[in-house]
Amino acid sequence: MKILVTGGPVHAYLDPVKMITNRFKGGMMTQIAERLNMNLHADVEVTYLCTKDVVPNNVDWIGGKVVHHDGFDDYMDKVLELAPEMDAVVLGAAVANLIPLHPFKKKFPSHKYKPGDVIPIDFTIAPRVIDRVKAVMKPGAHLFGFKLLAGQPHEELIEAAYEILRESGATAVFANDASSKDSLLTKYAVTKERAVHEMTLDDVPDFILKMVDDKYYRTKSQSFDSQPDGDEEYRTQTDPKKPLWQRHVDEAMERASELIKQADAEGSFVKTEDGYVFGTVAVKVLGHGGEGFITTGRGKRECDDLVYVRSVDHLSKAVYVHNGKKATLNAPLLDRIIKERECVVVLHFHRQEPGLPTQEYAPPGTDRDTRRDVSTSFNVADHGCFILLDEEGNRI
């Protein structure tokens, strides 16, 4: 497993000898790189990208490889050069995003000015490196970022981290508050479903490695026309144009739509200002010929679209959907719940439900998330709740 970690300041040149930089020295990211390399994964190989002044030339401090950059442009080039061979990229360097628009090609001629003179120098906001990395990474590789603010409200910090995550395609972004030394040591990992996981610096490497190790389910389209025994009899007696399975699918879709409307009216779904909605329902397809379940689609407003999940193969980690639509990432877990608990309805909201047992977080759609205990309704730490209902609507 190859992991690229970046740390320390990334400066921008004002002229060949003067730099625009920040006060961070890379100590936090150095610790993360060390712990990634010292974990139980014998095959982890860490490459640490920094300026030559951040760490000594002796690489024994992590047992990995150190690559040096020489400022913003060189940093960008080296990240994009190294990223394609990595299984994970962790961008923790403190980049000087305010850079001179037109750096002086020669040393600034200070001898031509007097003390107190005002020098008009135009600055620009630098391109965001993390936005360019995912495009060069190999399929299945993971991208992690860091977002630092100081003195802003906590929710603003989380929103800023989530915006970076969505725009960059990152697996997670760690939010930092630089208001004090204590606040800087507390990390908030923001994940794709907008879950927020508070942790210490020591927790970050393990969190990263677990997510890199996760195996995700894939979606496969499966149209079908063959019907169970007795379907022809049903068609003759009722509607000759509609097969039996479609009738039960329609009934499940109608019930799912009602549950979504009810949950929406009660404010159970989390909605963001930019239009994202978080939460889902699942309704088992019942009756003769019934198979699979109805759940919500995947996307910005996933509750606006319903998907028929015909089956889930947990051995090959494949979710089979009817006619090509992608189901919510929660589909593998929903399948296990419906099959093993024989419940009819599952409600998933992004809140913690009082009185329910709480289980460890794992990303939706992964093997780790799907293997959890489904013997009763439960919470997932820092994520949400799964409420299981039987055919009479009683909570399991």
Residue 287 has pLDDT above 70, yes or no: no
Residue 196 pLDDT class (50, 70, 90 cuts): very high
CB 165 within 8 A of CB 146: no
Per-residue pLDDT, 388? 95
Per-residue pLDDT, 209? 93
Tell me: the pLDDT tens digits for 50-93?
988 766 444 455 556 889 999 889 999 999 999 999 999 999 98
Per-residue pLDDT, 60? 52
Residue 390 in tokens: 């039987």
- What CATH homologous superfamily does 2-213 map to? CoaB-like (3.40.50.10300)
Tell me: the pLDDT tens digits for 321-354?
987 778 899 999 999 999 888 789 999 999 899 9
CB 31 within 8 A of CB 11: no
Question: What percentage of the chain exceeds 70 in pLDDT?
Answer: 86
Whether the domain at 2-213 and the domain at 218-389 fall into the same CATH topology: no
Per-residue pLDDT, 41? 56
Q: What are the start-end ranges of the H helices in the chain?
A: 27-37, 72-82, 130-133, 154-168, 181-185, 204-213, 231-237, 244-265, 331-341, 367-370
> Which of these, 290, 259, 219, lies nearest to 387 by C-alpha position?
259
d(CA 157, CA 175): 7
Residue 2 has pLDDT above 80, yes or no: yes
**Overall average pLDDT of the 301-324 stretch:** 84
Tell me: the pLDDT tens digits for 348-359?
999 899 999 999
Per-residue pLDDT, 270? 74
- What are the backbone dihedrals phi and psi of residue 385, each rounded to the nearest 5 degrees, phi first? -120, 155
Per-residue pLDDT, 361? 94
Residue 28 pLDDT class (50, 70, 90 cuts): confident
| Most confident stretch, 26-30, 88-92, 246-250 | 88-92
Per-residue pLDDT, 161? 93
d(CA 145, CA 95): 12
Residue 39 pLDDT class (50, 70, 90 cuts): low
The domains of the chain are located at: 2-213, 218-389
**Fold of the domain built from segment(s) 218-389:** L-fuculose-1-phosphate Aldolase (3.40.225)
- What are the backbone dihedrals phi and psi of residue 224, each rounded to the nearest 5 degrees, phi first? -145, 150
Residue 224 has pLDDT above 80, yes or no: no
SS3 274: coil
pTM, rounded to two decimals: 0.84
Residue 255 has pLDDT above 80, yes or no: yes
Per-residue pLDDT, 91? 95
Per-residue pLDDT, 84? 96
